[in-house]
Structure 1
Amino acid sequence: MGSSIGATIRHLREERGWSQARLAREVCRAAGVIGEPVGRQEISRWETGKRTPREWLPFLAAALGIPVGALKEPRELAGPPLPTLADFLPAEDLLKPLSGRTGRRIGMDAVDELQQRVHGLRLADDVLAGGDLIRPALRDLRRAVKLHRESTYTSEVGRQLLRQIGELAQIAGWIASDAGQHTEAERIYRLGISAARQAEDHTLAGNLAGSLAYQLSNTGREMEGLTLAQAAFRDSQAEAPPKARALYLDRVAWAHTKVGGAENGQQAMRALGEAGQALSEDSEGTESPAYLYWVDAGELRVMESRVYTELHRPLRAVPLLREVLSAYDATHTREMALYLSWLAVALADANEPEEAAAVAERVISLGACTPSERVAERVRVILSRLREYVDVPEVAALLTEHQAA
C-alpha cells in the first residue's frame, strides 16, 4: 500500500508546484501542531514507500485538499514519466576506464592534488572571467579524465576521483559558458553529471544539472532549461543539505522566469520563497560541500531582484539591487558588472533613463576589461532596452558612443 500512496502523494504535490518542505509545513499546519514533527525527509520517505503516513493521513489529505480515501486508491498516473537526470547523460561514457590499463597506480594523494586544483580554479573564477580561465580549466579537466581512465586505483580512490572530476566539470563548464563556448560547456556539464552519478554524489549531480539548466535558460532553450532544473531538484533534494536545495530552487525560479507568462511568474516567486525557507534551515552545525561557499542570503536576494527585473517590476527590483550592490566586493568585477546591468534595465523600466544611462556606462567600463560573454550579452541587452529613450540626451550620447556594441 505504501508505494501506491507514495506515488499519489508525489503526483499531487508536484501538481501543486510544492516542494517536499512546503508539503511538510502544510501537513503540520493542518494538524495544528507546533514545530515540525513532519519534515521534508519524512515526506520523502512517504513518497518512496519507505514509510506509510498512517496517523498523518487525515492531515495529509486536508493539506492536499482531497478526501482521505483518495490517497488510498491506487492510480495510474496520466502522461509520460517525469524526466530524471539519467535522461541528460552523454550518449557515450567518456569516463569508462580503458581495458588493459598500463598507467601508474595512484592513491588519495592524487585525489587531494586534484581537489586543490579545483579549489584554486574556483577561487580564480571569483576575480577573473571565462576568457582568462578557459585554457587552464580545459587542460585540467582533460588531465583528470585521462588520469581516471588510464591509472589503476582502489574502488574508494576511484569514487573520490570521479567526485573531483564532477566538481572540476562544474567550474570548467561555468568558465566555458562565461567564455561564450556554450556547446563545449554543455558537453562538460553532461560529463560532470555522469561522473557525479557514478560517484553516487547526488548533491553534486544536482548542482551540475542546475548549472546546465541555467545556461539553457539563458541561451534560447528555456523549456529545456525548466525541465532540467526541475529534474535536478526532484532527483537530488532528498539527500541535499539546505544550501544545495536553496540553489536548486533558485535555478527553478530563474527557469520559470525565462519561460515567461503569468503562471510561470507565480511559480518563480513560489520557488524563491521555498529557496529562502530552505536556506533558513541551514545552521552552524550543518555540513555543506565546499563548492557551495557562495550560496547565502545575499545571493538569493540577487536572484530575487533579477526575477523582479525580468517580470518588469522595477519598484521591487531597484531597492533590492541597490542593497546588494552597496555591500558587494568590488574586486569581483564580472559579478559587479552583471548586477549593475540588471539595475540599469530596472531603472529603464522605472522610467529613469538618465540614471539608467549612468549605470550602463559603468557596466560598459567594467566589461571593457572583463573577457566575459555574459557581460557582453548584458551590455547588448541594456543598449537595446535604452533605445526607447533615444530622445534623452544622456541616452543618446551613450548609444552614439557605444553603438558598435
Structure 2
Amino acid sequence: MGRPPLDKQPNAPLAHWMTQCGLSRNRLARLVTQRGAQQGISGLATDESRVRAWLKGSIPRDPVPRLILEVLSAETGKDLTYADLGLPGESGQTGIRSPWTRTAAIAALSHIIRSELMLPDTRNDADAATVLTGHDLLEPLQEWALSQPDGATPQGPPGRHIGMPEVEGIRNITSSFRTLDNMHGGVLSRSAVLAQTEAVLDLLRTSTYTEAVGQALWSAAADLASVAGWMSFDAGRHGIAQRTFVSALHAAAEADDKRIGAHILQCMARQMSHLGHPEDALDLVALAQYGGRRRLTPAATSMLFALEARFQAIIGRVSDSDTAAGRALDAYERVETGSEDPHMDFFDLPELHATLGMAHQIAAKHVQGPARTSHVRRSRDLVSAALAARPGHRRRSMAFDHLGLARTHLAGGEVDGAAEETVHCLDMLGAVQSRRVTDRLGELYDEAEPFASTAAGRELREQIHEAVLATR
C-alpha cells in the first residue's frame, strides 16, 4: 500500500456539521469571529474565503480550531470533538493511547461512530496506510492484560433505569448482525451495526443501572463494537476497523471480560495478517493468550493456537506451525457442546479444519519434495472436510473454503482443480460482498501467474480479473 496523498483533502466532516447546523460559510465566519471577540481574541479577520479554504483542507491556526469546535458544539447541542470536525487538537483522547477509563471508552467509540456514519463508504486503498503496526500498535495495548474496570460513572444527566432484559436485547441484536455478516459479508450491514453501536453508547451515557448490569452492559457493548470493527475490516475499511477494535478492547476492560478482550485481539490479529504483518499478528495472539490466561474456554484456546499455526506458516516457521496445530487439535478435544460463549459460535470443527488446512497450504510454499506433497495433501483433506461440514448460512466461509482449495491445488501444480474451485467461489460473489474475499482472489491471481502460459492458467486469471473488476 502506498502512503496517503500529501495533497490537501476536502474536509468532509466540517462540511457535514456545517450542513447539519444550516450554517453558510459567511455565518460560520461571523460566529467564530464573535466568539473570539467574547474571549478577548482580536485580529482574527475570519471571513467567507477563510472558511472556504478550511473546507478545501487548509488547517486554521490556533486558537481558531478551538473556536470552530465551540461554535459547532453550541449550534448542534452535541459534545463534538476535533476529530469529528476533521481538525487537529485535543480530541478527547480518543486514539490508541486513550486512558483505560470508562469516560474515555465512551468518548472513543462515540467519535468513531459519528464520524463513520456521516462519511460515504469508500474502499480507498490509502486507508490501509493509516493502520498502526509494530511497536506503535502493540505497546499501548499491553496494559489491557492487567487492566481493571475504572468504575467511574461518566458525567451526564441520569436517564431511565435499565436491567438485564435490555442487555439481553443487545446480545440478541449482536447475534443477528453476526448471522448477516456470515451470510453476506460486512459490506451490506456495516452502517446498520455502527448505528446500533451508537444507540448502545447512549445507554451507557445516560442510563442508570446496578454494578452487575453495568458490567454485563459493557461486555455486550464491547461485543457489538467488535462486530462493527469486523464488518469494517471485511469491507476494506482498515483504519476505522482498527480504531473500533481498540475502542472495543477498552470497553471489554471496563467489563473485566478477558474472553471478549481476547476475541477482539484475535480479530485484530487476522487484520494484521491480511495486511501483510504476520509478526504483529503473532504478537496480538500472544497478548490474547496471556491476557486471557485461566479464563479462556477450550474453543478460544484452540482458535488462538490455530491462528498461531497459520501465522507461523506465513513467516516460514513450518516446525513451529506444526506444533501450534497439534495444540489446537488437543484443545478442541476438550470443547463441550453448549458450553462456549456466543461470540465463539463461529469456531466449530469446520472452522478449525479450514484454519489448519490453510496453515498447511501456506507451509507447502516453504518446503520442497515429499514434505511439500504431504502439506498439500493435508491441506486438501482438511479444507475439503471443512467445506463439506459448513452450516448453510456460513456462505462467506464457504467462499473462503473454495478459495483455499483453489490455492492448495495450485500449490500442488493442479491448475484444473484450482479453476474448478475458483468458479465455485466466483458464483458466490453476488450473495457475498466481502473485500477480504476479493483481496484473496487477487492473491490467487498472482499465484496463478506461473501457469499463465497454459490455456487453463490464462482462463483462470482472466476469470478472476473480470470478477474482481466488477466488484470495484
TM-score over 0.5 (shorter chain): yes
Instruction: Please report how far the alpha carbon of residue 219 of structure 1 lies from its aligned counterpart in structure 2 after TM superposition.
Output: 0.9
1:102-121 correspondence to structure 2 within 5 Å: 102-121=158-177
Q: Which digits, 9 at most, give the CA deviation of each residue in 1:338-386, with x for residues without a partner?
A: 1111111110111111221222122222224421011101111111111
Q: Distance in 2 between matches of 1:361 and 1:186?
A: 32
Instruction: Please report how far the alpha carbon of residue 204 of structure 1 lies from its aligned counterpart in structure 2 after TM superposition.
Output: 1.4
**In the alignment, is the contact (CA less than 8 A) between 2:150 and 2:254 conserved in 1?**
no
User: Which of 370-379 and 150-159 deviates more?
Assistant: 150-159
The match for 1:154 is: 210
TM-score (norm: length of structure 2):
0.63
Q: Distance in 2 between matches of 1:125 and 1:94?
A: 32
Match of 2:395 among 333, 343, 348: 333
**In the alignment, is the contact (CA less than 8 A) between 2:349 and 2:386 conserved in 1?**
no
| 1:165 counterpart letter in structure 2 | A
The match for 1:357 is: 419
TM-score (norm: length of structure 1):
0.73
| 2:455 counterpart letter in structure 1 | P
The match for 1:210 is: 266
The match for 2:309 is: 253
Change (3 A) 1:171 1:106: same
The match for 2:219 is: 163
**In the alignment, is the contact (CA less than 8 A) between 1:254 and 1:307 conserved in 2?**
yes
Q: Distance in 1 between matches of 2:333 and 2:226?
A: 25
Instruction: Please report how far the alpha carbon of residue 179 of structure 1 lies from its aligned counterpart in structure 2 after TM superposition.
Output: 0.9
| 2:334 counterpart letter in structure 1 | E
Change (3 A) 1:120 1:311: same
Give the gaps of 5 or more residues in structure 1. 1-81
Match of 2:255 among 199, 204, 209: 199
Instruction: Please report how far the alpha carbon of residue 141 of structure 1 lies from its aligned counterpart in structure 2 after TM superposition.
Output: 1.1
Q: Distance in 1 between matches of 2:190 and 2:159?
A: 27
3-state SS of paired residue (2:339): coil
**In the alignment, is the contact (CA less than 8 A) between 1:213 and 1:255 conserved in 2?**
no
**In the alignment, is the contact (CA less than 8 A) between 1:241 and 1:288 conserved in 2?**
yes
Q: Distance in 2 between matches of 1:228 and 1:402?
A: 32
Change (3 A) 1:247 1:95: farther
Change (3 A) 1:142 1:274: same
Match of 1:374 among 419, 436, 448: 436
Q: Which digits, 9 at most, give the CA deviation of each residue in 1:172-207, with x for residues without a partner?
A: 222111111111111121112111121111111111
Name the count of aligned residue pairs.
317
Change (3 A) 1:84 1:253: farther
The match for 1:297 is: 349
Change (3 A) 1:95 1:86: farther
1:217-256 correspondence to structure 2 within 5 Å: 217-256=273-312
Q: Distance in 2 between matches of 1:211 and 1:402?
A: 27
| 1:198 counterpart letter in structure 2 | E
- 1:271 maps onto 2:324 in alignment: yes
Identity of aligned residues (%): 23
Change (3 A) 1:382 1:115: same
Q: Which runs of 4+ in 1 moved over 6 A?
A: 93-96
The match for 2:199 is: 143
3-state SS of paired residue (2:448): helix
| 2:447 counterpart letter in structure 1 | R
Give the gaps of 5 or more residues in structure 2. 1-137, 365-374
